[in-house]
Amino acid sequence: MSDGYHSRQSFLGEDLPEVLNRTRIAVVGVSGGGSHVVQQTAHIGFQNQSLFDPDIIKDVNLHRHVGATRADVEAQRPKVELGERVIRNLWPAAEVRAFQKRWQDAVEELREVDLIFACLDGIRARLDLEATARRYLIPLIDIGLGLNPVGKDGKLMSGQVALSMPGGPCLRCMQLLTEQELADEAKHAGGYEGFGPAPQVVWANGVLASTAVGVAVDLLTGWNTLAHAKPSLRLQYVGNSCQVHPFRPSPWPDRRCDHYPEREVGDP
Amino acid sequence: MSWTLRITEALVKRMRRDLQRRHEFAGERVGFLMTKIGNQHSANMKLVLGVDYWPVPDDSYINDPSVGARYEASVHRGLMERAHAENLGMFHVHAHEHGGCPHFSGIDLDCIEKLVPSLRTVQPRQAHGALLFSHDDMAAACWLPEKQGPAGGGRVVVVGRPIWSRTMEEYDV
Amino acid sequence: MLRGVWDGEGSVTATELVPDDPVVLELRAICPRVRRVEEAGVVYYELPGLILGNGATPNRCDALLRLTGGDGYASRLFLAQQVAGPRPVNWNGNAFILQRKWFAFSWNVSKGVSPLQVLTAHMGALR
């Protein structure tokens, strides 16, 4: 890495190269949101990445999967392979572990990372991933996007970026991953009534992913020392008005989690 | 084989708070960080997870001005019983009164080197070792299962906001 | 169940006989090695090698029983694999609990029945 590479991001701290070198991140779900995360983290300089996604790229993904091409669709390339390509085009010697499988089938790999980006559809999948992250004391950044009917014809596009820190409030404490949503998921088998498969759009995914990467960089470098300007644990995106704001003023930063006791750590 | 000791910021704060408390006669306090290995089957890197902290009780210290801290043999007995019964690793914890990166003294390493074999006898499947705080930094030495001596290539990660991480020096004992 | 009593110095000073979880005692009638486990604030009863009956293939499987709600079902029986029964069931409850993969089918069991009745009611779907 040349000395000039980080000159425009040197405000992130003089030990940035060391942080980038030693930090291992996982991107679980390398599709709409995940493809943005891989792209941005690669550009920042994160060269040690573990990617998890069982799917191949298809025509229906092209409208939102950054870095994907029609040739990739024709070649039926795995999504993780596209992610690896993005990283290696910047860092040929990067340490990339690409798993074309569900993270549950490679969980031993996941335990060794320093940070997880959860870019998954599905409530149950995110709940289970967070439970694993908590067991192995790994911070997790969850990204989600939804489109919901409002009134007769209206649609509300909203999403969130939530940081789940071991010892701190979990996604359920933050009122994400509710029992009602789990029940709806089981009932509708993952689709949204009236909207077909879960809606995804590149610009909204980009906003959420960029926000998540910003949260991650602050977490890993501590560059942001302004106490009054720390990102909230849960950030809400309102797609209709193109705004990101803290979910609400909350007691979460000081609140211990009731769902994950401190001693519930390690293998069961 | 490398290793990573991961501890939450809350647990680190709890340890620091305890070690800072004044004792009636002991020059310094000691406690034990209880740990579990989170990836028993990995051949690359051992992940050691901080589970809880157990401070040496006030009335277990022995008044010996020649050393920083001395405590009753029953403390080690209790430690070994817990390590065995609850499948835990044990890391001796204490603090040095200075800033900057702390270093284990010869006496520190001697003490730990005597403690680890006993712990390994009752709990061979977990890592054991020591943690040392300074005012603003920390160091660790780790004995991995089935390995002779403290393992090199180690790292401590404190999971907080921000995440703190340091690569540990290698120790010869 | 025998439990060690730790004193403030980290020594076991006594062992005491404490009553087992009454649910564990009840479920032992079907699965002798049942034990109570917990993850993410949810209690499960682990049922190693649960015998499912002649209608199921395989007829023996590790299982987890959840007696509380959480996903629109008042209770849920998770199995370590998708088991074939005499009639098709809707496997809509894939989960990863206690670091293992589990599968659950859609089956509603009335509230207000005993844990053993809940378990046998779920197993009834496979008989």
For chain A, the domains span 3-254
Asked if the model's pLDDT at residue C10 lies above 70, the reply is no
Using a CB-CB cut-off of 8 Å, the residues of chain C touching B77 are: 11
Q: Decide if C14 is inside a domain.
A: no
Q: Decide if C99 is inside a domain.
A: yes
Asked if the model's pLDDT at residue A193 lies above 50, the reply is no
**CA-to-CA distance for B49 and B30, rounded, in angstroms?**
20
Among chain C residues, the shortest Cα distance to B57 is held by: C9
Q: How many CB pairs under 8 A join A and B?
A: 76
Residue C92: the pLDDT is: 87
Question: Cα distance from A115 to chain B (closest Cα, Å)?
Answer: 10
Q: Decide if B172 is inside a domain.
A: no
Among chain C residues, the shortest Cα distance to B39 is held by: C99
B62, B74, B88: best to mutate for the C interface, most C CBs within 10 A: B74
The verdict on a CB contact (< 8 Å) between C9 and B81 is no
Using a CB-CB cut-off of 8 Å, the residues of chain B touching A137 are: 6-8, 38, 49-50, 159
Q: Phi and psi dihedrals of C112, rounded to 5?
A: 80, 10
Q: Decide if C2 is inside a domain.
A: no
The verdict on a CB contact (< 8 Å) between C72 and A107 is no
Q: What is the pLDDT of residues A121-152, one digit of tens each?
A: 888 999 999 999 999 999 999 999 988 889 98
Q: What is the pLDDT of residues A98-110, one digit of tens each?
A: 999 999 999 999 9
Task: Tell me the percentage of chain A whose pLDDT exceeds 70.
Answer: 92
Q: Which of C72, C97, C101 lies at the smallest CB-CB distance from A182?
A: C72
**Domain with B13 in it:** 2-167
The number of C-alpha atoms within 13 Å of C58 and in the hemisphere containing its C-beta is 10
pLDDT-derived band of residue A7, with 50, 70 and 90 as boundaries? confident
Which residues, in sequence order, are CB contacts of B131 under 8 Å at separation 6+?
Answer: B5, B15, B33, B91, B92, B93, B138, B139, B140, B156
Q: Phi and psi dihedrals of B12, rounded to 5?
A: -60, -45
Token pair in block for residue A137: 């004391």
Average pLDDT on B22-50 reads: 91
CATH code for the structural domain at A3-254? 3.40.50.720
The verdict on a CB contact (< 8 Å) between B85 and C9 is no
**CA-to-CA distance for A119 and A103, rounded, in angstroms?**
12
Do B58 and B24 meet the contact criterion of CB atoms below 8 Å apart?
Answer: yes
Using a CB-CB cut-off of 8 Å, the residues of chain C touching A170 are: 40
Asked if the model's pLDDT at residue A194 lies above 60, the reply is no
Q: What is the mean pLDDT of chain A?
A: 89
C36, C45, C96, C108: best to mutate for the A interface, most A CBs within 10 A: C96
Question: Is any Cβ of chain A less than 8 angstroms from the Cβ of C70?
Answer: yes
Q: ipTM for the complex? A: 0.93
Average pLDDT on A9-15 reads: 85
Question: Is any Cβ of chain A less than 8 angstroms from the Cβ of C80?
Answer: no
Using a CB-CB cut-off of 8 Å, the residues of chain C touching A185 are: 71
Question: Cα distance from B126 to chain A (closest Cα, Å)?
Answer: 12
Q: What is the pLDDT of residues B150-165, one digit of tens each?
A: 888 899 999 999 999 9
Q: Decide if C61 is inside a domain.
A: yes
Average pLDDT on B52-56 reads: 95
Q: Decide if B159 is inside a domain.
A: yes
Q: What is the number of structural domains in chain C? A: 1
For chain B, the distance separating the N- and C-terminal CA atoms, rounded to the nearest angstrom, is 18
The verdict on a CB contact (< 8 Å) between C71 and A258 is no
The verdict on a CB contact (< 8 Å) between C6 and B77 is no
Q: What is the pLDDT of residues B94-152, one digit of tens each?
A: 999 999 999 998 888 888 888 999 999 999 999 999 999 999 999 999 999 988 888 88
Q: What is the pLDDT of residues C11-62, one digit of tens each?
A: 455 555 556 789 999 999 999 999 999 999 999 999 999 999 878 899 899 9
**CA-to-CA distance for A238 and A159, rounded, in angstroms?**
7
Token pair in block for residue C41: 């604030």
Angle between helices A79-90 and A32-44 (to 10 degrees): 20
Is residue C27 packed enough to be buried (19+ CB in 10 Å), middle (13-18) or exposed (0-12)?
A: buried
Q: What is the pLDDT of residues C69-84, one digit of tens each?
A: 888 899 999 999 999 9
Q: Decide if C10 is inside a domain.
A: no
Token pair in block for residue C13: 């000073």
Q: What is the number of structural domains in chain B? A: 1
Q: Decide if C39 is inside a domain.
A: yes
CATH number at residue B157: 3.40.140
Q: What is the pLDDT of residues B78-90, one digit of tens each?
A: 999 999 999 999 9
Q: What is the pLDDT of residues C70-123, one digit of tens each?
A: 888 999 999 999 999 888 899 988 899 999 999 999 999 988 899 999 999 999
Residue B152: the pLDDT is: 82
Angle between helices B73-85 and B106-122 (to 10 degrees): 40
Question: Cα distance from C35 to chain A (closest Cα, Å)?
Answer: 13
Q: Decide if C13 is inside a domain.
A: no
Residue C117: the pLDDT is: 95
pLDDT-derived band of residue A230, with 50, 70 and 90 as boundaries? confident
**Domain with C28 in it:** 21-124
How many residues does the structure list for chain A? 268
The verdict on a CB contact (< 8 Å) between C99 and A134 is no
Q: What is the pLDDT of residues C43-55, one digit of tens each?
A: 999 999 999 987 8
pLDDT-derived band of residue A6, with 50, 70 and 90 as boundaries? confident
Residue B53's nearest CA partner among B87, B30, B72 is: B30
Residue A191: the pLDDT is: 42
Question: Is any Cβ of chain A less than 8 angstroms from the Cβ of B121?
Answer: no
